[in-house]
Chain A
Amino acid sequence: MYRYDEFDHDFVQARVAEFSDQVHRRLSGEITEDQFRPLRLMNGVYLQLHAYMLRIAVPYGTLNSKQVRMLGHIARKYDKGYGHFTTRQNIQFNWPALSDIPAILADLASVEMHAIQTSGNCIRNVTADHFAGAAADEVADPRPYAEILRQWSSVHPEFSFLPRKFKIAVTGAERDRAAIQTHDIGLHLKKNAAGELGFAVYIGGGQGRTPMVARKIRDFLPEADLLSYCTAILRVYNLYGRRDNKYKARIKILVHETGVEEITRQVEAEWQELKDAELKLPDGDIRAIEAYFAPPALADRPEGDQAVKLARLDSKGFSDWLDQNVVTHRHPDYAAVTISLKGIGEVPGDATDSQMEAVADIAEKYAFDELRVSHEQNLILPHVARADLRAVYDALAEIGLATANSNLISDIISCPGLDYCALATARSIPIAQEISQRFASLERQREIGELKLKISGCINACGHHHVGHIGILGVEKKGSELYQVTLGGSADENTSVGEIIGRGFSSEEITDAIETIVDTYLGLRLNPQEIFIDAYRRVGPAPFKEALYAGEAKAA
């Protein structure tokens, strides 16, 4: 994986020193909160309900075991023994004292990590397919390009004060696991007819209070033009994006109000000025960054087939986990493993200090020292020999992280909600926990099949509810929590925004409502292969409305 060069080291060290000084001056009263607030936000420090919150960047979701161990150390020493992995492939700590943050940042810097640009109206952490480098279906690893974008966007002087925050995601596969169409810029790495690498470029996707699916503005951008083209997009946005209204300031609004044809014309015109200048990426530079992401040497391990067969016979738990949480690797003797952070009734995305340390040990021993954070709030071991799967399963089971539910209804994305977040209007975690418990039976979950359920505790949609097959949005109505349900969203290569199905439900009613929706689906699907989203797209909302609300209409 990418290793800091001398410039990166100096840059991060300089930032730690600078922000430490700012914290000391704030604590001694030399600077006011109004002066300090933008500085702390540029360094990932928020103020939430109970305490400060520190959001740490995990570029394109990639971590090594040393880094994960450090996260465990920070959780134990400075926080309350756990961290929360987020839908942005980052990690958040919920309880750090401001006075400890300089020490935390110094510890992070020692393992090449930081919290820079995890807040503010700048280009945020670039996200990528969590199976990058391992997926059997990708044309190339998208992370070298994410890293190039990271280097370019870090304290970019022109793009540090944009109208609003800006998020870029990259995938290298046709099957989009990085939700690129919900991002300000989505990049789909592909090959043209000549076999050259480049990108389909999407802009203007986003969630929040105005969800929009990104529009494709270019079918093939040669890889050498990545930075010049992104610069052109950012320039058009920086110039014309609205600064008068925070809620209309994202590029999605600009794309919508300008029209995709006109904004494409503007971007292309800007790009003509830039494309043959210093932003053109030299092939040598791309290949040099690519070399940092060279896959580990995967020795043939043909004994895996037999080992897996025997282990299946030996353990039903292993067999279930294998079916659900293990996916094909580009090397037939290997697999990519999803470590579910969605134990039944647990808090989605939370991991304890000792779990982090144990996972780091497993990655070091069995997975070439590599880990990923998925935007679905799970951890991934991208390269595990099939022959070692049983040992990995046993080690995960020992720390309570072997839940076999990847892509099932209990694999819920949930924002922190009103239990932690200062912006939230309702709780989301307890709803996730109750639904997870209601559908605890693995047999039942597998009968239901793939179902993406996503919960947000406010309209900002950190829990991606708009693109859940079933989405739940918690709002406050007359002093109580009310949960609106959307159906038919998805965040893959066929991204769609879910539709509100009808009146909302109280916290007591919502789990029953979800069960009604699931039972309705089971009753109308053509066959068990027709997953929820496909069935919904076929039949539309009517049968679900009928099941949820028909009784009321009759009563009225």
Chain B
Amino acid sequence: MKILTANRLGDGIAVWYADGGWAETVGQADLAHDKAAEDRLEAIGAKAYANNEVVDVNLIDADVVDGVVEPVRLREKIRAAGPTIRNDLGKQAARAA
């Protein structure tokens, strides 16, 4: 399965495409289960890049764990949570608060 991720142009914050917009957390990201869905996400990403909404757009591997979307690679897990050495920073900080 794939999901679409990028960084927001204005503040650089990591975002994931979910439900028609760019979400600040990965959990509800739109999943592509097949090539056609991947193509659709890629087209959305290309358009958002061209519209100067986001930069560094990528389609990445993801799983669903307990009903929540999670990236597969460690790099993407860290992007989705924040630095592993500072739980008070990044997305995980808001979750803990």
Contacts and interface: CB of A to CB of B under 8 A. Distances in A.
Partners in one complex: yes
Interface of A: 26-27, 29, 32-33, 47-52, 80, 95-99, 347, 418-420, 424, 427, 429-430, 433, 476, 479-481
B75 A418 contact: yes
Given A29-B51, A47-B56, A433-B85, A99 B75 contact: no
A479 B61 CA distance: 12
27 contacts: A26-B9, A27-B52, A32-B52, A33-B55, A47-B56, A48-B12, A49-B75, A50-B13, A50-B14, A50-B79, A50-B82, A50-B83, A50-B90, A51-B11, A51-B13, A52-B12, A80-B89, A96-B12, A97-B11, A98-B9, A98-B11, A99-B11, A419-B83, A419-B84, A419-B85, A430-B85, A481-B74
B41 to A, nearest CB: 19
Interface of B: 7, 9-14, 49, 51-52, 55-56, 72-75, 78-79, 82-86, 89-90
B55 A347 contact: no
B10 A27 contact: yes
B81 to A, nearest CB: 10
A97 B8 CA distance: 10
A420 B84 CA distance: 9
A47 B90 CA distance: 15
A476 B97 CA distance: 32
A97 B79 CA distance: 16
Interface of chain B, main secondary structure: loop
B68 to A, nearest CB: 20
Contacts, number: 74
A419 B85 CA distance: 7
B12 A51 contact: yes
Contact of B74 (A26, A48, A98, A479): A479
A98 B83 contact: no
B12 A418 contact: no
Nearest to A27: B10
Interface centre among A26, A32, A50, A80 (most CB of B within 10 A): A50
Contacts of B14: 49-51
A47 B89 contact: no
Q: Which 3 A-B pairs have the closest CB atoms?
A: A52-B12, A97-B11, A419-B83
Contacts of B74: 418, 476, 479-481
Contacts of A420: 83
Contacts of B11: 51-52, 97-99
A404 to B, nearest CB: 23
Nearest to B72: A479
Nearest to A49: B79
Nearest to A37: B55
Nearest to A347: B85
Contacts of A430: 84-85
Contacts of A427: 78, 84-85
Given A49-B79, A99-B11, 12 more contacts: A27-B9, A33-B52, A47-B7, A47-B56, A49-B75, A50-B83, A97-B10, A97-B12, A98-B9, A418-B74, A433-B85, A479-B72
